[in-house]
Structures are given as structure tokens and as C-alpha cells.
């Protein structure tokens, strides 16, 4: 093969390798495993310190929102086992639909020692009043 052919192949492999690396690193950084409250409490090992995404219901009478600091703390429970709860702390504006007994999804780091999830993202699922009723014609 000529020297120019080797250069062309080398450039192609470098470009493909770079694109592959960018795709892999982008997917691995944004990919977060979705868990329930029970799974976090039962299965998450202490060495798991990466971000997690947890779904649960907001426990009534646990909501504390400091509007000055925009610090929201509350507890979430597993809808299937209300005895399993995790304390959550979120810094930011509370979603409009946020209230007790609504299902929320949190993303952040879990502190096993204090049973607290330090959330960087909080999503409140839409209440059932927005779901269309089943109409039989």
C-alpha cells in the first residue's frame, strides 16, 4: 500500500474512534438506573455512590420547604410497602404539582448512613385528574 493510503486509513480510524468515544461517554454519563424505594433500601450496596433515580410517593406531613433558600425536604415511600421510606433533600423550585401522596421521581446521590437522597432533579408525576376517563360508547 502507498503511504497516502495508510494516512487515509489512520485518519478514518481516528475519527471513528473519536466519535465512538463521544457516544459511549455521553450515554454512560446520562444513563441512570431507575429504582423503587424498596430496591434502594434492600439492594443498593454502600459502594454504589453514583447517581440513582428513585420513584416513590411523597409522605404526608413530611414536607418542609424553605422558600428563602429554596430547600425542599420530604420523605418518599414505596407505594407497595409504605413502611419503607427515604428522606429526600432537593435544592430548587418545587414543581407546581408537588404535594403529599403524589408520585415523584428523584435523581441524585443516596447517603446510606443517613438514609437521605440528595436530589439534583425532582419531577412530580401528573395527578390522575389529567388522565382521560374510560368512556364506553
DSSP string, 102-122: -EEEEEEEEEGGGTEEEEEEE
> Which residue is it, cell 418518599?
76
Lowest pLDDT segment from 5-9, 31-35, 98-102: 31-35
**46-81 pLDDT per residue, tens:** 555 678 899 999 999 999 999 899 999 999 999 998
Q: Report yes or no on whether pTM surpasses 0.75.
A: no
**90-131 pLDDT per residue, tens:** 999 888 888 999 999 999 999 888 999 999 999 998 766 555
Beta bridge partners of 80: none
Nearest 10 degrees: Cα torsion 107, 38, 115, 49: -50
**What is d(CA 105, CA 34) in angstroms, rounded to the nearest whole number?**
9
Q: Which of 94, 79, 99 is nearest to 37 (CA)?
A: 79
Amino acid at each position: 500500500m502507498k503511504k497516502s493510503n495508510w494516512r487515509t486509513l489512520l485518519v478514518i480510524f481516528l475519527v471513528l474512534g473519536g466519535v465512538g468515544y463521544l457516544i459511549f461517554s455521553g450515554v454512560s454519563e446520562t444513563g441512570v438506573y431507575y429504582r423503587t424505594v424498596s430496591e434502594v433500601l434492600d439492594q443498593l450496596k454502600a459502594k454504589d455512590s453514583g447517581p440513582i433515580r428513585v420513584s416513590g410517593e411523597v409522605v404526608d406531613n413530611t414536607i418542609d420547604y424553605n422558600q428563602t433558600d429554596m430547600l425542599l425536604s420530604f420523605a418518599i415511600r414505596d407505594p407497595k410497602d409504605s413502611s419503607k421510606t427515604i428522606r429526600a433533600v432537593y435544592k430548587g423550585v418545587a414543581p407546581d404539582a408537588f404535594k403529599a401522596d403524589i408520585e415523584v421521581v428523584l435523581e441524585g446521590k443516596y447517603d446510606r448512613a443517613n438514609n437521605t437522597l440528595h436530589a439534583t432533579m425532582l419531577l412530580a408525576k401528573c395527578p390522575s385528574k389529567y388522565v382521560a376517563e374510560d368512556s364506553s360508547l
